[in-house]
Amino acid sequence: MTKPQANLPPAPVTVGDHTLEVDPILDFGYLTITTDAKTITVTFYAVTSLSAQPRDSVTVNLKTGKLVPAGGATPAKSSKRPKRKK
């Protein structure tokens, strides 16, 4: 584990065209990477002597290259027709 550079102000901080939005996580752990050919999800798990807990996760839509909102993949399409407003 490597601590951030000295004198780095707390997030959010912008350097050039890059912005650090959240302070770095300083925990030992591991990443899992999963895909379903439509999205890719990367999750960081912090490990303690008792367990591994998810600390941060991001999901990217592989077709659009955009982040998928928290809570999972794109909403499933309903097989029911939407009701029309009168």
Q: What is the pTM of this model?
A: 0.60
For residue 57, what are the domain limits? 28-64
For the chain, the 3-state helix, strand and coil shares in percent, each to the nearest 5, are: 0, 40, 60
pLDDT of residue 72: 53
Residue 45 covered by a domain: yes
The model's confidence at residue 8, banded by pLDDT at 50, 70 and 90, is confident
60 found inside a domain? yes
Please report whether residue 86 resides in a domain.
no
Q: To 5 degrees, how large is the angle CA 39–CA 51–CA 12?
A: 55
Task: Indicate the number of domains in the chain.
Answer: 1
Would you say residue 56 lies in a domain?
Answer: yes
Residue 43 belongs to a domain: yes
Condensed to tens digits (0 to 9), the pLDDT of residues 31-84 reads: 999 999 999 999 999 998 889 999 889 999 999 999 998 765 444 343 344 444
pLDDT at 59: 95
3: left (phi over 0), alpha (psi -120 to 50) or beta: beta
Residue 57 within a domain: yes
In a domain, 2, yes or no: no
pLDDT at 25: 74
Residue 32 placed within a domain = yes
Q: In this predicted structure, what is the pLDDT of residue 1?
A: 63
